[in-house]
């Protein structure tokens, strides 16, 4: 029996259930004796999920940094002027919005420059995982920079995010 089956049985175990297995009997007794069990179970699940989501986002950022390293030359060849938020414009509230701005500009470069690098899809994958944030300025409000300055700003922002989360 898996842990998930035990948890589900624990949540649904009726009071008059006569289980043959000791494990079933214990879960029924625990369920009857404690009205707080579902609360603790929810707390445990949310705790595990919250730690997993932050760990995954750091992994994704590190993967993005690796991906960008292989695309650097192609990105910097572009003569486009790109909306480039500075490091000072990255706040806890608008961190994902700033990253969205960069990802949109990178996707535009990949399209316009017809970059067919095998690493290129990582930008779209990373972009899809970002959540929209309310109250953040639109991308177009940031200053326009050439592709080299744009890339430097993005590298600096990603490094700042990884440094903040590694503390």
Residue 44 lies in a domain: no
Residue 128 lies in a domain: yes
How many independent structural domains does the chain possess? 2
Residue in this structure with the two tokens 């002027």, named with its chain if needed: 81
- CATH of residue 86's domain is 1.20.1250.70
Helix (H, G, I), strand (E, B) or coil at 144: strand
Residue 71 belongs to domain spanning: 55-165
Residue 65 lies in a domain: yes
Residue 120 lies in a domain: yes
Residue 48 lies in a domain: no
Tell whether the model's pLDDT for residue 6 goes beyond 50: no
Whole-model pTM over 0.75: no
Q: Give dist(CA 86, CA 145) in Å, integer.
A: 10
Same-domain status, 68 and 133: yes
pLDDT of residue 68: 94
Q: Give dist(CA 25, CA 35) in Å, integer.
A: 17
Q: Pull the structure tokens for residue 123.
A: 């930008």
Residue 39 lies in a domain: no
Higher pLDDT, 130 or 57: 130
Residue 141 lies in a domain: yes
Kindly list the distances between the CA atom of residue 33 and the CA atoms of 28, 41, 88, 123, in Å, as whole numbers in the listed order: 9, 15, 54, 51
Angle between helices 121-129 and 95-112 (to 10 degrees): 150
pLDDT-based confidence at residue 72 (cuts at 50, 70, 90): very high
Buried b (16+ CB within 10 A) or exposed e, 136-148: beebeebeebebe
Q: How far is CA 155 from the centre of its chain?
A: 18
């Amino acid at each position: 029996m898996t842990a998930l089956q035990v948890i589900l049985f624990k949540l649904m175990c009726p009071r008059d259930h006569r289980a043959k297995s000791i494990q079933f009997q214990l879960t029924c007794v625990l369920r009857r004796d404690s009205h707080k069990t579902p609360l603790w179970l929810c707390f445990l699940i949310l705790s595990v999920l919250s730690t997993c989501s932050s760990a995954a986002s750091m992994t994704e950022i590190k993967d993005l940094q690796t991906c960008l390293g292989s695309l650097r030359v192609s990105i910097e060849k572009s003569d486009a002027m790109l909306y480039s938020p500075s490091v000072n414009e990255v706040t806890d509230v608008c961190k994902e919005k700033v990253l969205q701005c960069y990802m949109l500009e990178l996707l535009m470069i990949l399209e316009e420059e017809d970059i067919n690098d095998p690493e290129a899809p990582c930008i779209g994958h990373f972009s899809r995982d970002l959540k929209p944030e309310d109250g953040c300025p639109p991308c177009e409000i940031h200053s326009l920079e050439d592709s080299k300055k744009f890339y430097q700003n993005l590298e600096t922002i990603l490094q700042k995010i990884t440094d903040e989360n590694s503390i």
